[in-house]
Structure 1
Amino acid sequence: MDLSTDVPDVNYLNTFTSQCSAAVVNPPISCRTPVCLNASTSPASAFARSLHDVFYLYGMALTNVYNQNPDLIQDDAVVSNAMQLTFQGLTGEVSINANNTRVPKLTLYALDKDYDQASFMSLTYSLDGGVSITSLNKDETAMWYWYGGVRPLQQKLERDRINAEWQIPAVKLLKPPKREKERMSKRSLQSGPSVATDTTRITFDSTFTNYTIFLLDKDPVLTTAHPVSALDRTDYESFVKLRKLDHENVNKFIGISIDGAEFVAVWKMCMRGSLQDIIGQGNFSIDPFFMYCVIRDIAEGLKYLHSSFLHVHANLRSGTVLVNESWQAKLTDFGLGNLAEEKKPMKRRKLWMAPEVIRGTLLPHQIEKPADIYSLAIIASEVLTRKEAWDMANRKDTVDEIVYRIKKGGLDPPRPDLDTEGVEVNHNLLVLIRDCWSEEPTDRPTADVICNLLRNMMPKKGNLMDHVFNILEDYTTNLEVEVEDRTKELTAEKRKADVLLGRMLPKQVAERLKQGQTVEPEGFDAVTVFFSDVVKFTQLAAKCTPFQVVNLLNDLYSNFDAIIEEHGVYKVESIGDGYLCVSGLPVRNGNAHIKNIVELSLDFMAYCKSFKVPHLPREEVELRIGVNSGPCVAGVVGLSMPRYCLFGDTVNTASRMESNGKGG
């Protein structure tokens, strides 16, 4: 498109073009820059013609305003309205509309068969917004010479519309925020007892080792990267057919981004991750029904692909089996055999390949259905053993050594172990798996046969989600019973702890500590403090073994504790053979504290007269007692092992009376 048309006065145009550069150094422009001074002999650029028309338009507007009223020459609005003119300029006809914009006149140019520029159409706009189209060349064959001489259709081709369905602009694929990615990558389910084991636990974090997560229209999708390559019409038709594949065990192909730095294949998200990653977590403990369902889903998906236009998956392994929210297995990463992978395939992938594929006798497009059946058997061995393919973590063989042995073949070719570790699996299923990885492709059953046999082997009817819900219900029931039992045990232990705490501290103090409250020291005006110890206890202990000393004090103090309960006295502590009691705190009892302590002392003395040391029957136990009444302060001291302590002269006096008293 050319915005300028031919100028009628060609002589004036040539004069302007040749003299313009030299004139810019003169008034009114008076340009003295080196560029202007050095360009005096150069022809004017195409933009100079537009600048000419601008100056000419402005001058005409000023002249018209001045002629009408010289006082309005400074009024911008008046001058602006005066610019709505039409004149012949050096860029063709110039017409300024009411919006003070130029009404364009466009000409359509194209190259003819001789590569010369030819004008074919003129578009002229009017001041009122109308447009007139004038054909300058009636020969459509010449206009569309480079399109085969045929005018293209005005409507978009149906093929382009269909191709647009699978073509995804690269700008629409966005990296998810880190927090959103972590949320999508954390999925877990815990189930309770099942019919096969006492406890079945399904817990893992879904991961996507072989895929990259993107957001497409705010929805998470899985992608695989491929180098840019040439695509033909056959590829386009294949992608259209891939989008139309629809089966509950086949993951949905969304499309491909082909306008970025690399091709990106986009698949529907399956939130629980790939089967390979799930098994690789190491805590894949499931019951036989779950195993049957996973293997059945893979077989059903394979059956569908084998009956589709693809006829084969050609890339089947546990890494291309995804698990969705409903614990349904879905095949993915199929139908892209013509697209090269971003990275060279890892050697580990050969562990799932059929022997005839590993030997290199087949090209990618020549892989047939029996190769998929072999891969299905390898995946089934992973599911049954709950270990990665060939249990590489516990094998001494390397991947290269295993691949070499598979490639070599023989009468007894190597195959994965089918040790189910105590899980009861139908023997017919093990036989079927061994048939599926037969050395000869013709000996392997078809996907139809496998699906029929698996239906007959199913331990019970129903779908996997119902089975999972039943597991959860059983687990919930057992969990409720277990929680109830644990609650009873906790209550009993709490009661014991409360009793023990009540013996260590006063009840009121213990309650405050359990509630997390601070226990402030408290003063008491009238209490009676009691101290006692065993006379000549050191000499008595020297005649006993340590165990005998412990038994002696235990017998003595157990009876003392019983006497204390009878008199309502609070036992503060006992250290060695020493005993400290008090009455009148923590519960005030008026003057009764004196009577309580006196009666307690007499009962202690009476008991000691009848007490006999079991291993020293001739030894007598005598007590030395100190009693004093008066005020004191009581409070809790310490955090790790809090103690209820008494402070004050009353306590000190009672202690000295005991230490200086006479035994009896």
Structure 2
Amino acid sequence: MTPAVGQRYTFRRLNDTTFDSYIQFIGGKAPLGSPKCGFKGQLCSTKTNNSKFIIAGAVSIFTIAVIAIIIIVYKQIQYERNLDTMAWKIPSSEIDIKNVQARSSIFNSSIYSTDGDNEQSGSKGVSLKAYQNSLNDTEASIAKKKVFKKRTVKKAFGDSKNDEWINIEKWALGKYKKELVAVKKLCPTDFKLVRDIKKEITQLTKMRNEFLNNIVGLVHEPPKLFLITRYAPRNSLKDMLENPDMRLENMFIVSFVTDIIKGLRFLHQSPLGFHGNLKSSNCFVDATWRVVLGNYGMVKLRENEPCENDSDLLWTAPEILRSGNKKVSMTKAELEKGDIYSFGIILYEIYGRNGPYNNDITPYRDIVEKIKFPKKNTYMRPDLAGIEKAPSAVKLTCESCWNENPDERPKIKRARDMLVPITEGLRSNIADNIMALLDRYKNNLEDVVKERTAALEEEQMRTERLILQLLPAPVAHALKNGEKVEPEHYSSVTIYFSDIVGFTALSSQSTPMQVVELLNDLYTMFDKIIDDFDVYKVETIGDAYMMVSGLPDINGLNHAGEVATATLRLLQSVYTFKIRHRPDDSLQLRIGLHSGAVVTGVVGVKMPRYCLFGNTVMVGSSMEQKGAPLKIHVSPDTKGLLDELGGYTLEERGYVEFPRRGKLKTYWLIDDDPMVRKARLETESKHYPNLKRGLTAFMD
């Protein structure tokens, strides 16, 4: 241990005796008499030295940047290793070829094909019958082939298994990892598996979507070069459209269009950004009747393939044709716009079912030349007369998609929105045909049940709303619950009756349809007006209109005021009402009001009606009959209630004879005071909530 440094101190005793001694301090220095910054920190500067923090921050940023660079470099190295390992490369020995002859002979011009054989022969497809006959022939050929395999000797590629690959002309059906796959032959010249092609294949094999015919991998064993994709057993869309025996319901047509749009949307939003070779022969129908898009991308992979036949160029956009169909030199945005053009042609083809140009007799080469080089702004496009029966939304979308100017073509999302009208009403069609036509939804029954349940609930709500318009809410709910509706007595209500003066003569001079339109227009207007009042419309019979207030929800004495004010508004509306077929004529409405006691009840079972009974009903009807055109005839009972409520102006008419009541002094209702009514409603609505409806008019 190193001895502490000491200092000499001299001590003097009281008796003047002195001696020397050493005191050892840690660090070799004596402690200070006070803290460096003072006991309260007053001796130090208040400014903080931030240099340490700056240095720490810089070091942190540098460290993060180094880590990020390391991660990026590591990922790039991993990516390059993945490219070199070529995980998508499939040995041909792992694929069991199941069928060669039938598929290559039947679908050489459609399924997975880019080469249009016999383009001018007029052959537009094959029927399902021919396809099935071919399958039957194939079984025999396979049996013969098995016998032949046993006898054959190794040839140029080694053994009989290689012979199967040699015999593939276009494509074949195979089995890979217990799954059926399509084996498509590629024919590029001078093919080299360079880095760009590896990147392209890696990207394509990683893309997965239910509306794509997903690429499984590539067989590259020179001279073998085959693309392996998912197998779609229901042929291509082109085959299906050209097959006269295949009857397609509208449900299928709309579904096909929707599926193509979904597939294109995915491609356009993906890193790939385009399809690049969209046509009906590259749209396949899988086992669930879903259209999946195939042969997408592969611009570099198929760059050196022989030129396509003219028949395969009918779906290609003009700007791509003018570039010599060199898609490798085009941008993603340009190829995306080319896809939209192709989609427009396919849409036309789906609804026309006569090929992309409606079986035009013009040679394909001439059509392609006219597309590439239009003369005097005359553009070669399919004739819309070929889809004359198609919805207008389809025609408009077709024209927009094949616009000569690529920038004016809609995005696929916009095209989808333009086609929304064709999907209207499709749900009910699916409900009628779901079990018979769509095995596509066999695994989605739960979703279908939910949709049907939601539709049923919506229908029930609609029915309930209709019942509530025909019957008072308490009565409707009671009938809905199977309860018996007992007759009820109401001690005081106000009843409104009205009819049209001269209606019989007017009807005789009008057609039945004109009479219906007249009454419908008039009473629809009345119904909207009385929505702002606590009244209940009882019924309309011919030109007669009846309503009541004070039932089924009581509102004190306010029923007289509600009916009176509503009547004034109805009469006011009649002055401006126009008869459609006789605009120069005006209606003469005659109205009667009466207040008193009534009994209500529901009459009938099949068509229940809510009816009012009692002398009050009879007197109210008589008040209307003994009234005058465009006047409101009021009984003394109603007049007394209005006087009690206040705010109403009435004029005495005189005495009128009534059955069972003798002579009664009656009145004309002239006007009301809105402010008095508002004040009354604000007070009374606290006790009778239904009166709040009347306050909404004042808020407006």
Shorter chain as denominator, the TM-score bin is 0.3 to 0.5
Question: TM-score with structure 1 length normalisation?
Answer: 0.41
Question: TM-score with structure 2 length normalisation?
Answer: 0.39
CA radius of gyration, larger in: 1
